[in-house]
Structure 1
Amino acid sequence: MKWNAKTVKHKGESRIAVFFEKDDELISRIKAIEGSRWSMQMRAWHLPDTDENRIRFQLKRLVDSIPNSEGIAQMTRFKQWMRSKRYSESTITTYSEALKSFLIFYREKSISAVTNEDIIIYNNDFILKNNFSASYQNQIVNALKLFFKTTQDTKIAIEKIHRPKRAKVLPNVLSKQEVKAILEAHVNIKHKVMLSMIYSCGLRCGELLALQPVHIDSVRNIVLLKNAKGKKDRIVPLSPKILEMLRDYYKVCKPKTYLFEGQTAGLPYDARSLQLILKQALQKTGITKPATLHWLRHSYATHLLESGTDLRYIQELLGHNSSKTTEIYTHVSTKSLQQIKSPFDDL
């Protein structure tokens, strides 16, 4: 698979452009990367200039790009093991690339001889030295833990592989007024309904685009989400207002297989096009916040919390495994904060 990558300036932004002869496998991999775009002008795919993407396309490597023969064999076995466990292809690709980076670094060393100290050295001499992000380092940890868990002859103590300290980043939330303006910005009924569904049901982008008409239960007023994140099904309540919108939409668009289809009947709507719909809504409303589709999901959870919904129910609605993940919304809810009077007001 031959390709060439280089950094470029595109509309004033630093991007990584990838040039190659048409290859469906590579196109699929690039489209799975967040922020990837096709440029007619450059005749190339381009994506955000991040540390992780530089690693992916070998723009910033410490060592050669091919592990030793033992490493290649182990990587092949690891991929086969993940597929047999039915990991998603995007996870398999992410973990394989992360593991490849580690095996390249220790290409002169037998895998059975690698120790926990070697992982610490790798973190310092490769991750930190090249200023790679904590999220990329965490990907490496996930891959190594799983890889060494499936490796019989190893000196690695898996429980001692440490993770980078997490930054306490709060979720981005829009006000109800901002959400209302965004959802009313589009005249196109499909665009309006897609954005409204994400907010009203707290959906991830992929969950929305995987919906089929049969997943809408108008009798019980619920939406069935099949094979959501973590390969788990769940149900979420369906707003009566959304149900009416869906009925109007169905009469106009008459989807065949998926609830929301693109120009080709029977195929799901494109995720990048949906992001563009949100971007256009922001421009129409004059909202300058760099909102993404996931902001609508964050806003749904926060507004539920502010209206008095129990955190346990919100956890179920969002499909979170751990309550700790859901608890982060308590830090952005302003209901209690607004009741606190500043001592400045008494001066």
Structure 2
Amino acid sequence: METAASPAITLKCVEHRGSQRLAVSFAYDQAYIDRIKQVPGRRWSETMRCWHIPVEEQALQVFRAAFPFVALPPIGEFRTGFTPDQPDKADVQITPAAAGSEQAHKAGISSQKGIESIELIGGRFAIRMRYTKEGVAFMKSLVRSFWQEEDKVWVCQFSEANLKDLQAYCSYWSEEEYAKLAELLEVRNAKESQKTMAVWPLKGNQEWLRVWIPNHTSEAIARIKRVSGRRYSRANGCWLIPNNQQLLEGLSEEMRAIGVEVEVRGKVLNVPLKRKSWPERQSHLLDKLDGPMAALVKEYTDFLIGMRYSWQTVKTYTSFFRRFAEVFGVAELPNLEYASIQGYFNELAKEDISLSTLNQYINAVKFYYERVLNRPRKVYAVNRPRKQDRLPKVLSKGEVKRIFKQLHNLKHRLMVYFAYSSGLRLSEVCYLKPEDVDLDRLQVFINNSKGGKDRVVHLGEEMICLFAEYIQKYKPKEWLFEGQQGGEPYSPRSLQAVFRRAKEKAGIDKQATFHTLRHSYATHLLETGTDVRLIQELLGHSDIKTTLLYTHVSKRSLMSVRSPLDSLFDGDEEVEKSNKSSQ
């Protein structure tokens, strides 16, 4: 029953994407919307802001039942599309002309082939055709073609091959129309060939940046995965990275290495990645924990932090200890027998983990009993796996020189020089301060390094001019090598990327990382006759056994050995020479 307040309904016969439709327009009314949703095949058009239904007997019967007070128009009155200048969801819509002998001839060819219409929608051809075996076989031969049941059309990729094949098959377009499509395809291909990665803030959450990767190349995706905090959003259909200038600069460097430029659209938050305090870091470890487990982990981490373990060790130990506590239960831990603990480690040893990881599991559990509970060490001694003796990877002097030649940025060159000149670790290079370098004495002071130790290392004379040039150009204040954000040290991840790119450009296939420069420094010192005890002091090794590993890869030690194969035939050569002389 309609009232005077009910909105008026306007009907219009249209042809949409090759099919006959009935456009239904009315002012917003929820009751009308509920009714029209009962009609099979109904759709909403954003272009015309109206509903439209198929001109089919079943749909029209449901519509008449839902709107008995509306008179249907003569179904023969149709027009093409919703508006001539706004095709619904179509980029380009070209239909064959109906006048002229040439156009009529081509229309006849298309008709003979069963082609009724071809539209370009969203970078794809939508082809409506009558069923013929020949036509179906042809459609299947097109690049990336498939049948879309909902619209009753064949869909294929808008490509040069498909455009040529379609025109050769049915001569659907005039020369002018074909040229227009070819030009459009050329422009589109040119845009796709431009290696530009677009980045812009995520709508509704400015803390994230959306990343559009050109052609979704595996190289680009691999570099996205190196960004700290990145994740793939299925809802948005793209990768997301934290909205931070420092991370974005690091990603830009990674992409430039493969010839991709980063285009930033919109405002990027200029917020530095501040290093968190110990309470903030600890709260991160306690996140999502409650009850006895939260209290246990807090007590455990309090001891680790109080004893000044590194943050990496705190995270690793806490993760391994939590797993141990979850297996046995918090209440049972203080009363566990030796056999239970040993059995736990025996089961871990059966898993696919390295020996060093297994040792960390053991240390994490022992820390709880021996430090937190202050139990005697001997009670909880466990059988440890035998550690594998792996030799360090070393670069030759020639390879080091080739890497240096690929470093054209002054800051990057000086950072890599520091690692090789003084045998510094990655973190030691990044966290150097201007006052740590003493040019007069050619010394570098390493403060609070691995194991909380300080040491003094030698600075090569070749560094003096380069260092002076760097100081004059960059004028560092708090950190010798500042990152993109003022007041923050250079990112270790970015420095690793710098070295990796230089190694690749130098054509070195050997498996080597930034730390390999430190191994090379020690090995080359040993080869030039430097005492191994002095090398131990320069590297900051607590145990001489660690330093002695370099004697196994030293060229000097190996060259002093003569293979028994070389001397095996020495006697035969002398006999042969004497025989020749006697002749």
- Report the TM-score when normalising by structure 1: 0.78
Identity, % of aligned positions: 38
1:39-91 CA-to-partner distances (Å, cap 9, x unmatched) read x9xxxxxxxxxxxxxxxxxxxxxxxxx99954543221111112222222222
Paired with 1:258 and 1:108, the residues of 2 have a C-alpha distance of 44
What count of residue pairs does the alignment treat as equivalent? 301
- Which one-letter code corresponds to 1:90 in the other structure? Q
Paired with 1:275 and 1:313, the residues of 2 have a C-alpha distance of 28
1:296, CA displacement in angstroms? 0.3
1:269-323 CA-to-partner distances (Å, cap 9, x unmatched) read 1111101111111122101112101100000001111111111111110111111
1:128, CA displacement in angstroms? 2.9
- Which one-letter code corresponds to 1:79 in the other structure? T
Paired with 2:374 and 2:502, the residues of 1 have a C-alpha distance of 55
1:132, CA displacement in angstroms? 1.9
Q: Secondary structure at the match of 1:132?
A: coil
Counterpart of 1:166? 387
- Contact between 2:430 and 2:490, CA under 8 Å: does it hold in 1? yes
1:18, CA displacement in angstroms? 5.4
Instruction: Decide which of 75, 78, 87 is 2:309's aligned counterpart.
Output: 87
Paired with 2:346 and 2:307, the residues of 1 have a C-alpha distance of 32
Paired with 2:389 and 2:512, the residues of 1 have a C-alpha distance of 19
Counterpart of 2:297? 75
Unaligned runs of at least 5 residues, structure 2: 1-216, 234-239, 248-261, 263-287, 570-583
Instruction: Decide which of 282, 290, 293 is 2:511's aligned counterpart.
Output: 290
- Which one-letter code corresponds to 2:344 in the other structure? Y
Compare 185-194 and 79-88 and name the one that shifted more: 79-88
The answer to whether the aligner puts 1:207 opposite 2:425 as a matched pair is no
The answer to whether the aligner puts 1:337 opposite 2:337 as a matched pair is no
Paired with 1:207 and 1:224, the residues of 2 have a C-alpha distance of 10
- Which one-letter code corresponds to 2:511 in the other structure? P
After superposition, residues 148-167 of structure 1 pair within 5 angstroms as: 148-152=369-373, 157-158=378-379, 160-167=381-388
1:19, CA displacement in angstroms? 6.3
The answer to whether the aligner puts 1:110 opposite 2:332 as a matched pair is yes
- Which one-letter code corresponds to 1:301 in the other structure? A
Counterpart of 1:313? 534
Change (3 A) 1:328 1:153: closer
- Contact between 1:255 and 1:265, CA under 8 Å: does it hold in 2? no
Counterpart of 1:247? 468
Paired with 2:467 and 2:474, the residues of 1 have a C-alpha distance of 10
The answer to whether the aligner puts 1:323 opposite 2:544 as a matched pair is yes
Paired with 2:455 and 2:374, the residues of 1 have a C-alpha distance of 39
Compare 205-214 and 103-112 and name the one that shifted more: 103-112
Paired with 1:256 and 1:104, the residues of 2 have a C-alpha distance of 47
RMSD across aligned positions (CA): 3.1
Change (3 A) 1:163 1:198: same
Instruction: Decide which of 187, 194, 198 is 2:415's aligned counterpart.
Output: 194
Counterpart of 2:367? 146
The answer to whether the aligner puts 1:303 opposite 2:524 as a matched pair is yes
- Which one-letter code corresponds to 2:323 in the other structure? S
Q: Secondary structure at the match of 1:235?
A: strand
Q: Secondary structure at the match of 1:335?
A: helix
Paired with 2:290 and 2:506, the residues of 1 have a C-alpha distance of 55
1:206, CA displacement in angstroms? 0.4
Counterpart of 1:217? 438
Q: Secondary structure at the match of 1:223?
A: strand
Counterpart of 2:396? 175
1:322-343 CA-to-partner distances (Å, cap 9, x unmatched) read 1111111111112121122223
Paired with 2:409 and 2:482, the residues of 1 have a C-alpha distance of 14
1:115, CA displacement in angstroms? 2.3
Paired with 2:539 and 2:306, the residues of 1 have a C-alpha distance of 28
Compare 157-166 and 81-90 and name the one that shifted more: 157-166
Counterpart of 2:353? 132
- Which one-letter code corresponds to 2:318 in the other structure? S
Change (3 A) 1:199 1:112: same
Change (3 A) 1:237 1:324: same
- Contact between 1:260 and 1:268, CA under 8 Å: does it hold in 2? yes
1:214, CA displacement in angstroms? 0.6
- Contact between 2:292 and 2:330, CA under 8 Å: does it hold in 1? no
1:153, CA displacement in angstroms? 7.7
- Contact between 1:134 and 1:164, CA under 8 Å: does it hold in 2? yes
1:16-55 CA-to-partner distances (Å, cap 9, x unmatched) read 975699999xxx9xxxxxxxxxxx9xxxxxxxxxxxxxxx
The answer to whether the aligner puts 1:119 opposite 2:341 as a matched pair is yes
Unaligned runs of at least 5 residues, structure 1: 1-8, 29-39, 41-65
